[in-house]
Structure 1
Amino acid sequence: MKFFNEIFDYFNGDEIVETFSKLNSRFQQLLHSSSILIKTHFYLFYYEEMINKDHKLEIFSNKSCSNLKILSISCSQNIILLDAHRWEHFILHYYPELEKFYFIYYDGIDNDNQYEIYSGGINQFSSTFWIERKWIFNVKIDNTDIEYMICPYKYIDEYFFLQKINCSVFFFFRKIWYDSIHDKNIKYSASTTLILANFVTSSYGEIPFEKTRRVLTITQIYHLIIIEKHSSVHVLIQLISLLSDLITFKLCSLSSDDRTQYIVRELCRLGSIKCQSKTTKVCLEEINDIDNFNFISVICPRVLQVNLVLPYPTLPCRAG
């Protein structure tokens, strides 16, 4: 069984059926065996293919077994593929025993620099179906790209990305930083994380904020992770203003300049963000000076927990 599982890792889902299912009846029995934990991945790029009865996903689902345990799907080029209700029906109909579901939709602009109009309801992936399975919807903005993703709750963190190797997709995650074994009050319906990676505001201008506004037409955001060595105070202020439901955020470090103290004083005077912020947990991997704390306390007055990732001290070597 281990041998077959390793072979399956190198094939797209329909290739498994096309390559092996005609060999003999014993392989058909293997596909339908309750003892094999089969996993597969599909690349879907057109909505018309998904609803076509002759499409490879439909063919595989009809030929394979209902005991599929792990399914990952990549898709793009039609925003209707973000229809959570269709995926619910598909999984319940074909794979009622599915344990892990990995999904990614690549959102892009057309030749007129416009996004497809999203007509679905907001927070579609927060229904009881997804919450009971702890399959959580998240978003990553990488440079100018937007990726909408689903994965099991406990694996979401700043390492939320996927890598394509030998036509297979591998997901790499780490445990959520603000999650704790003692925390019994986590609301899975409010777990959507926005991850920002590989952007420099001086180069991209308003693009990260335009992308964020696009995301907010599809889902609310409750957690923010910025994967940049230094996050600008000015950028963070704009993001917090946009993300009115933000509960936590995580940064590597905060960078400031001569304008920072003035901005903090103005925020204190006006109280514009102060009244809106719902953030209760903050994580800084590096802290440069006490002004970082002052800034956080001003823009996030409801903060109850601040996590610092401190480097281990370097001990002097003993002679001799």
Structure 2
Amino acid sequence: MYSCDQYMKPVKRHLSVDRLWEDDTKRPRTSNENERVTFIEHLSNELFYEIFDYLDGRDLFYAFSNLNLHFESLIMSSKFRLKLHHCASHQELFDQDYQQIIIPNKHRIISLHLWTPSQLLTNVVLHPIDSSFSRLEALSLHGIKFKQVTSFLPCLTSLPSLSSLNICLNDVLSNSSTIYHLLFRLPNLKCSKLSARRYSLQNFISNTSNQPMTSIKQLIIDHPCNLHGLYDILPFTPKLRRLQCENLFPTYGNISKEIPLNIFNLTYCSISLCYLKFDEFEIFIKKISSQLRVLCFNPCSDISYLDADRWERLITKHMPLLYTFQFKYHDAVFGYFEIQPYHLFINRFTSPFWIERKWLFNIEIDFNHWSPLEIIFSIQSNRKRWDNTDFIVTEQECMNIIKPISQLTVHECRIPHPAQWFAHYIRFVSSLAKITCLHIEFKYFSIVVLVEFLHLLPHLDSLTLFIHFSNQNMKLTQEQNNTIRAMPTMNQIMKINVEQVFDLNHIDLFIDLCPRIEYINIQCKDYIQLESIIRLVLTKNNCNLQFLFFSIPIADDEMVQKIKAIISSEQSAVSFKIQRISNKIYLQWEKH
């Protein structure tokens, strides 16, 4: 799919050098084909062009144009296409760039980024951007003023190849429709992005009956807008496939439900912050959702968005092709959590409708965020396997061990011991939904807090731990030891993912706490730590562990052979499979 990012970021273009440099860039031959290359000029022209493709055109000119005849001929080739993303910002230097680089090579420029376009406007009077820029595909204008844009855009209609346009205003966007309707007159435009931090929301729908339809397929509205603004421009985008909107506000007054939008190809819609009431959003989304496959947005200030059954009805009837659904709703909590009427239906996000689509319900709490405490309800896609184990784990085995329903994510857990308020928060979350996955980020690891989590969340199936710093003192009281000894008979955890390990005792404790564990994924710092974990696991005779996966920065095939030798020497009768993929080592035992 076409993307503005292809040209908005200075990334490498993928070109077929054999086709582009077929005639005049053949590698110089020496008298002896086997002679070793001793001069940089003897390298192939194809290789130089591959290197040049990573560099900005302005840098190339100033670095190589006067170096020698060979390099000058390379960068002056009419077939070498230029990207100019770093033009000078100072007026005098920019004039020099414009006269010495841009104008003489305008037929070779495919991408042009201007960071102070007011400088450009003083030059286009003498040297307009017109059809002579025959290859210009992408143009970015940063720091331009509203009036300058409205006067400059009509000049771009003669560009035969312009398909991507990025505009970033440095003053008030007083009337977005004026700019969009000028953009829509560019005949070959496929991707457009308009950014502004100061704005005036539109409170009317303009009279644009003679506006031509645009060929735009991706529209990025990187400025606040309201429904009036969307209803004013979307009817002229019949080919639109991707719509991204920064902030969407409600309108002042009613909009007729009968206004057609003519959106039949939209497959992706993203709204960073949506301030519409659910009723307004529902009317809008029904007009554009028939082909929608991806919907990502963050609603604000309307608890109706937490009505899972309403979402189910809306998606089933009006978004039958929806594949990825993501949203976050932020709820501020003052003091102790109290059950509100809308909380009673949140568990409906774990019904079969959501599980079948692999849309995971997540509750996030940041214990370092006071006050009020913020609780975030979200839906996210869970189609990726928990640990990317598909190299050696069969589909049926994955289905048996990976069955997430709802997840609790806890950020910045700094408390060394559970308190009454802590237990209250976790019980509150547990009452909202059947939590099966726990992702907890420890600032300092606390066994007592971890055990309290496991005690308060009896339905856990998987556990992910990120430990910033390890506590050296792991001594527990007798009461705490009794609680830990009682845990294995209670919890159902089958999967543990440890993002950071500082002590082998952690792994030993996790295995003892979770006797049903079948899967462990561990980030290791070196081979010594990896080997010690494997030897520990081999001593656990009653362990149900089947899958053990390591991420290690310096993994290599020699490590794999050492692991094979260790397992064969200590458990020669046990069958296992082992495989290394990049910096990951996958180990699987057969069931007993």
> How far apart are 1:235 and its partner, in Å?
0.5
Are 2:473 and 1:278 aligned?
Answer: no
Structure 2 letter corresponding to 1:22: D
* CA 88–211 in structure 1, closer or farther in 2 if over 3 Å, else same: same
Structure 1 letter corresponding to 2:331: D
Tell me, in whole angstroms, the C-alpha distance in 2 between the residues paired with 1:240 and 1:81: 30
* CA 308–24 in structure 1, closer or farther in 2 if over 3 Å, else same: closer
Q: Which residue of 320, 327, 351 corresponds with 1:103?
A: 327
> How far apart are 1:131 and its partner, in Å?
2.5
* CA 5–152 in structure 1, closer or farther in 2 if over 3 Å, else same: farther
Conserved 8 A contact 1:122-1:220:
no
Conserved 8 A contact 1:83-1:120:
no
Structure 2 letter corresponding to 1:309: Q
**1:176-201 Cα deviation digits (max 9, x unpaired):** 33864624315876432211102311
Q: 1:37 maps to what in 2? A: 267
Segment of structure 1 superposing worse, 207-216 or 118-127: 118-127
State the identity as a percent. Answer: 22
Within a 5 Å distance, the mapping from 1:1-320 to structure 2 comes to 1-3=190-192, 4=216, 6-8=218-220, 10=222, 15=226, 18-19=228-229, 21-22=231-232, 26-27=236-237, 30=240, 32-41=262-271, 43=273, 49-51=277-279, 55=280, 57-75=281-299, 77=301, 79-110=303-334, 114-118=338-342, 120-121=344-345, 123-143=347-367, 144-154=373-383, 176-177=386-387, 180=390, 182=393, 183-186=397-400, 190-201=404-415, 205-253=419-467, 255=471, 257=473, 259-260=475-476, 265-267=481-483, 271-312=485-526
Tell me, in whole angstroms, the C-alpha distance in 1 between the residues paired with 2:357 and 2:456: 30
**1:252-298 Cα deviation digits (max 9, x unpaired):** 34635253385674346xx4222101112223234333432342233
Tell me, in whole angstroms, the C-alpha distance in 2 between the residues paired with 1:111 and 1:276: 31
TM-score by length of 1: 0.73
Structure 2 letter corresponding to 1:242: L
The unaligned stretches of length 5 or more in structure 1 are: 156-174, 316-320
**1:161-187 Cα deviation digits (max 9, x unpaired):** xxxxxxxxxxxxxx6338646243158
Tell me, in whole angstroms, the C-alpha distance in 2 between the residues paired with 1:153 and 1:111: 32
Conserved 8 A contact 2:264-2:290:
no
Conserved 8 A contact 1:109-1:116:
no
Tell me, in whole angstroms, the C-alpha distance in 2 between the residues paired with 1:297 and 1:290: 11
Structure 2 letter corresponding to 1:40: S
Structure 1 letter corresponding to 2:311: W
Tell me, in whole angstroms, the C-alpha distance in 1 between the residues paired with 2:439 and 2:270: 29
* CA 25–145 in structure 1, closer or farther in 2 if over 3 Å, else same: closer
* CA 300–20 in structure 1, closer or farther in 2 if over 3 Å, else same: closer
> How far apart are 1:119 and its partner, in Å?
5.6
Secondary structure (helix, strand or coil) at the match of 1:124 reads helix
* CA 77–116 in structure 1, closer or farther in 2 if over 3 Å, else same: farther
Structure 1 letter corresponding to 2:510: I
> How far apart are 1:25 and its partner, in Å?
5.4
> How far apart are 1:111 and its partner, in Å?
7.7
Q: Alignment length, in residue pairs?
A: 286
> How far apart are 1:243 and its partner, in Å?
0.9
Tell me, in whole angstroms, the C-alpha distance in 2 between the residues paired with 1:225 and 1:102: 18
Choose between structure 1 and 2 for higher RCO, CA contacts under 8 A separated by at least 6 residues.
1
Tell me, in whole angstroms, the C-alpha distance in 2 between the residues paired with 1:231 and 1:305: 21
**1:188-238 Cα deviation digits (max 9, x unpaired):** 764322111023115995444332222112211111111234321110010
Aligned-pair Cα RMSD in Å? 3.6
Secondary structure (helix, strand or coil) at the match of 2:432 reads coil
Tell me, in whole angstroms, the C-alpha distance in 2 between the residues paired with 1:108 and 1:121: 18
Tell me, in whole angstroms, the C-alpha distance in 1 between the residues paired with 2:335 and 2:486: 38
Secondary structure (helix, strand or coil) at the match of 2:333 reads coil
Tell me, in whole angstroms, the C-alpha distance in 2 between the residues paired with 1:152 and 1:29: 27
* CA 284–148 in structure 1, closer or farther in 2 if over 3 Å, else same: same
Secondary structure (helix, strand or coil) at the match of 2:486 reads coil
> How far apart are 1:300 and its partner, in Å?
1.7
Conserved 8 A contact 1:32-1:67:
no
Tell me, in whole angstroms, the C-alpha distance in 2 between the residues paired with 1:309 and 1:21: 50
**1:100-130 Cα deviation digits (max 9, x unpaired):** 2112122332588645244635631222322
Tell me, in whole angstroms, the C-alpha distance in 1 between the residues paired with 2:501 and 2:401: 29
Tell me, in whole angstroms, the C-alpha distance in 1 between the residues paired with 2:328 and 2:399: 28
Structure 2 letter corresponding to 1:89: R
Secondary structure (helix, strand or coil) at the match of 1:176 reads coil
* CA 191–100 in structure 1, closer or farther in 2 if over 3 Å, else same: same
Secondary structure (helix, strand or coil) at the match of 2:463 reads strand
Secondary structure (helix, strand or coil) at the match of 2:237 reads helix
